[in-house]
Structure 1
């Protein structure tokens, strides 16, 4: 199990104290590999924590926005403002998605989020059957 003293190059003045190059390289590579694996695990943990924080913030913000939407004192004005703002932004993202040589997943996700908020708004404040203009 243990190497003899001669095998370890520990004899004073008879052998050099420097380990064999191959042994040193193998030990160094193993150490580097372990160090890289540990750094990768630490990085993955940090990314996981950051994503968890972002998701928690998103859920809290969405809940607050939904509460504000439900309690809005003027649903007609809310719907009008939503239609104006969201249509411009949806058009912009859809155009970027359409002309992109390599579509970004973020654009599809953004459009999905707009659709989800439209569904929430429609659930709380359904559009009137006569969806014509409310301008006088």
Structure 2
């Protein structure tokens, strides 16, 4: 399997995971206004998060151990994290879009927030595993 095929495989499953686990935030964003900047920022957040997770999960950038896509123990944490990432990136992107008056600003800000949040995910999951271990929950 070539590097591009491997990246596409990682990106496909990252997109599926992020799209499904961020549904709570996406449902809340349905009523947000103004609809144009919010929709643009939300789509950018999901797309940038997908590309970042696909890249970070593979062997190209080493940021720590990523949870497996089907890991049921970290699923509630990942759902909350992905929802928060999409929500914050959408808010920041829509605010930048409205402040500057150009959609490019919203795309840039939403992308930066999403990529930064995805880069921090392995550390956040590791901290929660350490916290669970301290409180007596056996680590698998």
Q: Give the TM-score band, short-chain normalised.
A: under 0.3
Structure (1 or 2) with the greater helix fraction: 2
TM-score calculated relative to the size of structure 2: 0.27
Q: Which has the larger radius of gyration?
A: 1
